[in-house]
Amino acid sequence: MVYVKYNNVCVCDERSDEDYGDWHQEFEFSVQGVYLVQPNGSVDSFNVPFERGETCYVVHYTYSDGDSFGYSDGNGEIAMVYRHYENAQFAKGVIKKTSGDSLKMHIPFEKTDGSIEIAQLGNPMFDYFTNLQDVYIDTFIVQ
């Protein structure tokens, strides 16, 4: 199991004083590292076997969300951690292609025996006001 540490910081929070007034938020989402031991702070865990010092690829994305009165930008989610860059690229393409089309996203999951299984992830972008902003692949050394 590995732990992916991330930051999700609200850098702008504007709200009207009126009832049902306009609002706007901006977030900065960033992945900080991948660890074998759970670090302090915000983390997601993934049941993917790694050794300390191995290279891994973290697929994450940002999206906007909102309602009739306002919106937020830069919301972030971590999709998966990969040992093989090709699988990370494939997952990135799937997320871009299906972001608003389906309640679930089906991306590759690297099993402990090296085989690939398709994992179903919830899709926060399957909503009228929610839109994918971008998908990223970050490279880390497992700590």
The string of pLDDT tens digits covering residues 68-93 is: 899 999 999 999 999 999 999 999 99
CA torsion 94-3-119-71 (nearest 10°) is -50
Q: From CA 12, how far away is CA 8, in angstroms rounded?
A: 12
pTM over 0.75: yes
Whether the predicted pLDDT of 102 surpasses 80: no
- Using DSSP bridges, classify how beta strands 23-35 and 70-82 pair: parallel, antiparallel or unpaired: parallel
Q: Measuring CA to CA, how many Å separate 46 from each of 35, 37, 102, 112, 134?
A: 11, 12, 23, 12, 22
pLDDT at 6: 97
Helices (H), the chain: 85-98
Is the model's pLDDT at 120 over the cut of 90?
no
Q: What pairing do the DSSP bridges indicate for beta strands 55-66 and 116-122? A: unpaired
